[in-house]
Amino acid sequence: MFCYQCQEAAAGKGCTVKGVCGKTDDVANLQDLLIYLMKGVSALSVRLHETGEEMPEVNKFITDGLFMTITNANFDKQRFVKKIEKAFRLCEKLRNRLAELGVLYIPNHCKCLDWKTKTIEKMEEKAKLVGIFSTQNEDIRSLRELLTYGIKGLAAYAEHAANLGYEDTELYAFMQEGLVATLNDNLSGDELTGLVLKCGSMGVKVMALLDKANTSTYGNPEITKVNIGVQNNPAILISGHDLRDLHDLLEQTEGTGVDVYTHSEMLPAHCYPTFKKYSHFVGNYGNAWWKQTEEFEKFNGVILFTTNCLVPPRSNATYSDRVYTTGSAGFAGFPHIADRINGQPKNFSQLIEHAKKCNAPTEIEKGEIMGGFAHAQVLALADKVVDAVKSGAIRKFFVMAGCDGRMKSRDYYTQFAEKLPHDTVILTAGCAKYRYNKLPLGDIGGIPRVLDAGQCNDSYSLVVIALKLKEIFGLNDVNDLPIAYNIAWYEQKAVIVLLALLSLGVKNIHLGSTLPAFLSPNVAKVLVENFGIAGITTVDEDLKLFLG
């Protein structure tokens, strides 16, 4: 195996024996094979689009297949085998339809279109030949992978929006065209860079679509204090990002005596008006994803993963028989709740019956944290915020959105937040917030010093806020605002968020805790020269730099 798609890539280079994330060699290879086959399916599908037709089944397959290969989403070998078999069937179906339409020539014809097998052994053999190193040139490889990872992030957000009935065929078309572009040996580095930037603008589109899906369905997030203690009922802990799954679960647990808590990235759900109505939706349990192995032991109840970040349980874990997955998430041995059929709710009855037999959660902390500062809520407070900036009460905003991770070096973000001067405000989104959202950082004239917009996809909210402030202050350039960007990344959804910010012209973003291993020195140089992207150093040095 070779994988370097996330921030934890072994030794800052890539995982070769087993993923630091826990992904095994065979699963990593099958993920490579699936990506390879999805390029073939996409080549056929793009050709079909040219005739004015499309197959919704293919859009769903590509979106879901990409999402399943994101870091920490799916570790279940059998699910990848099934997906690979589905790729063969879809190739067949697309070829037949194209033949009916008289289309025989497929540009960028991928060798994967000529390869097929029925055995897992042959899949495993083939997988070893189609990984990242099948592109020889280091810079082209880097750009192809950067594009692929951006598209994976895009797919994740598109899937959440689609689950709520919001779709945009342009996004599906771009995912497929982007995958096909990675097969094209005639594309120059500049052309691939152009596609990477286009991927960023698609990122803005998908986040806007998901924002519309979430807020039209569940209302605009409101300032909310979220309980982090526990109650006495047995409970289900829901993790991941999918709000439709949460909604189905809340509906089905109502009146059963089973409480529902959020974990990690599901925390912001408490701020949506629709979800606030459920009295058994009682709070958030624990912290960012990587603390789950410790926290799930104490939760005592049933755990449901709707997406990443799933950490394989230790061999002596006591909670392994209480975990379920659904959607793109998967882990061999954890029961998987099937997809919804024709938009009908998923069936969570198995989890609910299981939860009833469990003990109530053990309290690990007490108190409340505040959230709900998505764009509508912040813009409702715009006058207050603008006055605070004009009077000098707020000197600078720090966008510290992104992801958390288990590396010790991530303490940087806690210390950075602690050492920020009292006339600064942190704008956050994503699980990065857990590094400082429980610190007593206070407020500035009633404006909390940590404004949490929500999940990583709600970084879109931060963009809306920045653009509105630019307008209010009559500036021509978003980079003239008193906003600094000190972003923490971990996996591929953070890649699409970063590309989206670049496509909006945001410059001088600092990215940590380390720069991506998949950036070749030349590609990194392009990002530094054109966008001022930089890494992080020490808290004190960076504070000096940011505060000028």
Provide the binding-site residues for ligand SF4, judged by CB under 6 A: 3-6, 8-9, 15, 19-21, 23, 28, 71
Minimum CB distance to ligand FSO smaller for 44 or for 267: 267
Q: Tell me: does residue 323 bind ligand FSO (CB under 6 A).
A: no
Q: Are 222 and 288 in contact (CB under 8 A)?
A: no
Binding string to ligand FSO for residues 288 to 317, with x set by CB under 6 A, is what?
-x------------------xx--------
Check binding of 195 to ligand FSO (CB under 6 A).
Answer: no
158 part of the interface to ligand FSO, by CB under 6 A: no
Strand order in the sheet with 424-428: 450-452, 424-428, 396-399, 483-488, 510-512
Spatial separation of the C-alpha atoms in residues 495 and 70, rounded to whole Å:
11
3-class secondary-structure state, position 486: strand
SS3 at position 370: strand
Torsion of CA 399, 403, 407, 411, to 10 degrees: 30
**Residue 289 interacting partner from ligand FSO, ligand SF4, none (CB closer than 5 to 8 Å by kind):** ligand FSO
Question: Residue 6 corresponds to which amino acid?
Answer: C
Least spacing, CB of residue 149 vs ligand SF4, in Å: 10
Least distance (Å) between residue 253 CB and ligand FSO: 23
Q: Which does 3 bind (CB under 5 to 8 A by kind): ligand SF4, ligand FSO, none?
A: ligand SF4
Minimum gap (Å) between residue 84 Cβ and ligand FSO: 24
Helix residue ranges, H only, 289-430: 292-299, 349-356, 375-380, 382-391, 411-419
Options 17-25, 61-69, 438-446, 490-498: segment touching ligand FSO (CB under 6 A): 490-498
Element holding 399 (H helix, E strand): strand 396-399
CB of 239 to ligand SF4, least distance (A): 18
Among 139, 245, 452, 491, binds ligand FSO (CB under 6 A): 491
Distance CA 456, CA 402 (A): 6
Stretch that binds ligand FSO, among 323-331, 339-347, 485-493, 501-509 (CB under 6 A): 485-493
* Closest separation in Å from C-beta 413 to ligand FSO: 13
Instruction: Compare residues 262 and 455 and give the one whose CB is closer to ligand FSO.
Output: 455
Beta strand 447-448 pairing with 443-444: antiparallel
Can you read off the two tokens belonging to residue 374?
A: 């998505």
List the end-to-end C-alpha distance of the chain, in Å, as a whole number. 44
Query: Is the CB of 26 or the CB of 85 nearer to ligand SF4?
Result: 26
Cβ 186 to ligand SF4 shortest distance, Å:
29
Q: Which is nearer to ligand FSO, 175 or 311 (CB)?
A: 311
Q: Which candidate, 103, 212, 109, places its Cα nearest to that of 164?
A: 212
490 binds ligand FSO (CB under 6 A): yes
Enumerate residues 6+ apart whose C-beta is below 8 A from 483.
396, 397, 398, 399, 427, 466, 469
Pick one of ligand FSO, ligand SF4, none as the site partner of residue 456 (Cβ within 5 to 8 A by kind): ligand FSO
What is the distance between the alpha carbons of residues 37 and 80, in angstroms, rounded to a whole number? 12
Tell me: cis bond preceding 513? Omega within 30 of 0 counts: yes
Q: Which of residues 270-289 bind ligand FSO (CB under 6 A)?
A: 289
250 binds, among ligand FSO, ligand SF4, none (CB under 5 to 8 A by kind): none
Is the peptide bond preceding residue 15 cis, with omega within 30 degrees of 0?
Answer: no
- Exactly one of 403, 487, 499, 517 binds ligand FSO (CB under 6 A); that residue is 403
- Contacted entry of ligand FSO, ligand SF4, none for residue 21, CB cut-off 5 to 8 Å set by kind: ligand SF4
Of the two residues 149 and 281, which places its CB atom closer to ligand FSO in the complex? 149
Which residue has the CB atom at the shortest distance from ligand SF4? 19
- Binding partner selected for residue 6 from ligand SF4, ligand FSO, none, CB under the kind-specific 5 to 8 Å limit: ligand SF4
Give yes or no for residue 459 binding ligand FSO (CB under 6 A): no
Give Rg (Cα) of the chain.
23
Report whether 489 contacts 8 (CB < 8 A).
no
* Rounded-to-integer distance, Cα 86 and Cα 82, Å: 6
Phi, psi of 409 (to 5 degrees): -60, -15
Least distance to ligand FSO, CB of residue 60, Å: 21
Residue type, 54: E
Q: Is 494 in the site for ligand FSO (CB under 6 A)?
A: yes
23 interacts with, out of ligand SF4, ligand FSO, none, CB within 5 to 8 A per kind: ligand SF4
**Which residues of this chain interact with ligand FSO, rule CB under 6 A?**
264-265, 289, 308-309, 403, 430-431, 455-456, 490-491, 493-494
